[in-house]
Amino acid sequence: MKNEQQKISRIGTELVNYFLFRHVTHLSLYLSLEKGETIIEIRGNIGDSTVDLESILEKLNVPRLVEYDDYYDELLGQDIERALHLVGYLTDKAEVSIRNQQLIIKLWRYMQS
């Protein structure tokens, strides 16, 4: 479980860095640690900036390969341009939306037995 908590922490950090690198303001990060899944949601004010939701969703909705979790986890923090790809490889499901000038990314990571 400790290793899992470290991965969740690194995923959250990577998302915060992604938002900060793109000058998104008023960030909030929400973590829900349940028995069978973790939900990570980040929100930030994008103002009048345009965001390619389709591109973000495409990067985050790549198939998770559990056997490579440790490999992808080690790559986090090394390349801001590939950040969302790496986060996508470590999560199982993603939703991306814009509401009230806020970019919202919601991710699910299911526990593996």
pLDDT digits (tens, 9 = 90+) for 51-91: 899 999 999 999 998 888 887 777 777 777 778 888 999 99
Q: Where are the domains of the chain?
A: 2-110
pLDDT value at 93 more than 90:
yes
Question: Given this model, what pLDDT does residue 77 score?
Answer: 73
Q: Which residues of 77-106 are buried (b: 16+ CB within 10 A; e: fewer)?
A: eeeeeebbebbbbbbbebebeeeeebbebb
To which H or E segment does residue 38 belong?
A: strand 37-45
Q: In whole angstroms, how far apart are CA 89 and each of 70, 75, 99, 101?
A: 11, 11, 26, 27
Reported confidence tier of residue 113, pLDDT bands at 50, 70, 90: low
Question: Given this model, what pLDDT does residue 101 score?
Answer: 93
**CATH superfamily label, 2-110:** Histidine kinase-like ATPase, C-terminal domain (3.30.565.10)
**Residue 94 in contact with residue 107, Cβ under 8 Å?**
yes
Percent of the chain with pLDDT over 70: 96
pLDDT value at 100 more than 60:
yes
